[in-house]
Structure 1
Amino acid sequence: MKLNTKCIVCNIQQAIRIAEFLDVDDKNRENIMRKVLGYLRDADYGLSNPQIMKGTWDIIVEELGNDNPYKDIKRFYNEEMLMMYNELMGIVKSSKDSFQTGLKMAITGNLIDFGPSHKFDRDILIEMINNLDSQNMVVDDSKKLKDMLADSHTLLYIGDNCGEIVLDKVFIEQIKSEFPKLDIYFGVRGKAIINDVTLEDAKMVKMEEVASIIESEDGTPGTILENTGERFQKMFESADVIIAKGQGNYESLSDVKREGLFFLFMAKCPVVAGYAGVDEMSILCMENAK
């Protein structure tokens, strides 16, 4: 999915958001904005937004002298969600369709904006989870996903953001309980970028209890296959089923057509919604077959 000019606004907002979050002084804010705007002026608009965002991010962190400015906020959300893990797992196990509940719960994690505002409302999250049955997926390939998992040997589950990684773990634990012979791998970014999941986040939530962790070796807030490491590429090619979480993974992998590639995400902006052919704020479990 190529960059839309409307995506430029998100890149600019990211620079503004970090500067405000870290209380950067006016002189440095102006310097960051001038360099970001210069970069965006000359960027290749044939690339995807996650690729452009990586360039924007690299400028920001270089100017800040801090390659992981959201480290503390990411830890906060991971810890808050981890305290709910047993409760969330209980909701999945006690439901009439544990697989479907776990899947929708994982997508619910994508509904919550784990941005740098440092606001977390546990009651709102629980209310959303308790109303999972009323959340209809406008594209629902979950039955095919489950059927394919039953006949598969390997699953590559590509993560998205901090906080919601705990809901991913809940869903993966349910998958593992239903398909115990399945080898499951959890993909993370190769280095810190925005609030995307990295090896540090995966270890923080003890993802290794339910899956083997594999790094992409790339710092894009999505999955640009040609930029990932050889091990990740081989896993992507050989996995029987791939679950790619979040809008960034959809934006960067939507042009990759292969059976068994499923996107779980919410279309949180009109550009992505239009590309996917759904209404904004729709939730999807979509196979990207040929």
Structure 2
Amino acid sequence: MKISTECISCVIGSAVEIMEKQLPPEQYESLCQQMLKIASSQSWQETPTDFARKLYGFLRDAAGVDDPFKAAKEQSTELALKLLDEMRSVIARTDDPFANTVKVVIGGNIIDCGINRTMDMKKAILQMQEVFDMPLDIKLIRQFEERFYAAGNIFYMLDNCGEAVFDRLLLELFPGSITLGVRGKFVLNDITRAELAASGLDNYPVFDTDDDTPGVSLERSNAELLEAMRKSDLLIAKGQGNYETLDVYDRPIAHLLRIKCPVVSRALALPQGALALSMRNFR
């Protein structure tokens, strides 16, 4: 997905809020000037996540903290773990456990420190209980279910901490081989190798992007991860950042995300806040 004017203003707004939370006011003028310089040189052939990588990386370096969202990641993971068994129990009592598992897994994508700038972590977790009543195209769910169980192996590209705990509900249903993908460097509250054990996901083979793009850059990610993705029968990509970077991926892919901006809303013809399941490159 190519960047647009809406993406520019969104990422800058997010970066300014991060700056105000993590850096002293006396640095704001200089930092804003430098961020505007970065914005002025932004290529319109790149993705929104390319721009985000530059600004968030700049602020991370300015703060001198490798993982500025460490506390938020730990909190979201802890809260999600407390809710996991309840969600599993509710799913088991529904008349369509697979469809409701997909809803919960997509619903977990609300836990996003990049786009949800004023996110209350506890409130976001509690909103997970609302997903059972949210619409999601049942025909798409059935198509996804068929492809899911027909695959011999799946590459599952994770997104955020907390959200990743709920991904376990879908992963547990798959009888074949699963490989996980994570970010290679700290960015926002995106999950890396460092958080897999706390999320209960350290029992799968894993590749990382070796990159701090909040998505999967097909140009910057390491070759081993890209090769593992391409060798899989099905790539499942969680979240909006992965959608923005993998919209040109030419192998079978299923995107599971919560729509958080007008640009993606228009691309998928669904309202903001909706649960979205998008499948491409299937014959």
The two structures have a TM-score, normalised by structure 2, of: 0.91
- Bigger drift between 48-57 and 277-286 goes to 277-286
Residue in 2 aligned with 1:218?
Answer: 211
Residue in 1 aligned with 2:197?
Answer: 203
Residue in 1 aligned with 2:164?
Answer: 165
Cα deviation 1:12-69 (Å, max 9, x = unaligned): 12222122222x2222122221111100001111100001110111211111111211
- Bigger drift between 139-148 and 212-221 goes to 139-148
User: Partners of 1:107 and 1:208 in 2: how far apart?
Assistant: 21
Cα deviation 1:124-167 (Å, max 9, x = unaligned): 745642x4442112585221221122222111111111111111
Deviation for aligned residue 1:213: 2.4
Which letter maps to 2:54? Answer: G
CA contact (8 A) 1:138 1:282 kept: no
SS of equivalent to 1:6: helix
Q: Percent identity?
A: 26
CA contact (8 A) 1:140 1:285 kept: no
Partner of residue 225 from structure 2, selected from 232, 246, 250: 232
Matched, 1:14 2:14: yes
User: Partners of 2:56 and 2:242 in 1: how far apart?
Assistant: 17
SS of equivalent to 2:181: strand
SS of equivalent to 2:219: helix
Residues 28-67 of structure 1 mapped to structure 2, 5 A cutoff: 28-67=27-66
Residues 232-271 of structure 1 mapped to structure 2, 5 A cutoff: 232-258=225-251, 260-271=252-263
Partner of residue 268 from structure 2, selected from 258, 272, 276: 276
User: Partners of 1:118 and 1:41 in 2: how far apart?
Assistant: 28
SS of equivalent to 2:55: helix
Deviation for aligned residue 1:223: 0.9
CA contact (8 A) 2:111 2:160 kept: no
What RMSD over aligned residues (CA atoms) do the two structures have, in Å?
2.1
| Inter-CA distance 251–51: structure 2 relative to 1 (3 Å threshold) | same
What number of residue pairs does the alignment pair up? Answer: 280
CA contact (8 A) 1:187 1:213 kept: yes
Matched, 1:73 2:72: yes
CA contact (8 A) 1:89 1:170 kept: yes
Which letter maps to 1:250? Answer: Y
CA contact (8 A) 1:107 1:283 kept: yes
Residue in 2 aligned with 1:93?
Answer: 92
Give ranges in structure 1 of 5+ residues lacking alignment: none
Cα deviation 1:235-284 (Å, max 9, x = unaligned): 111110111111111111112233x3001112211111112233333321
CA contact (8 A) 1:139 1:286 kept: no
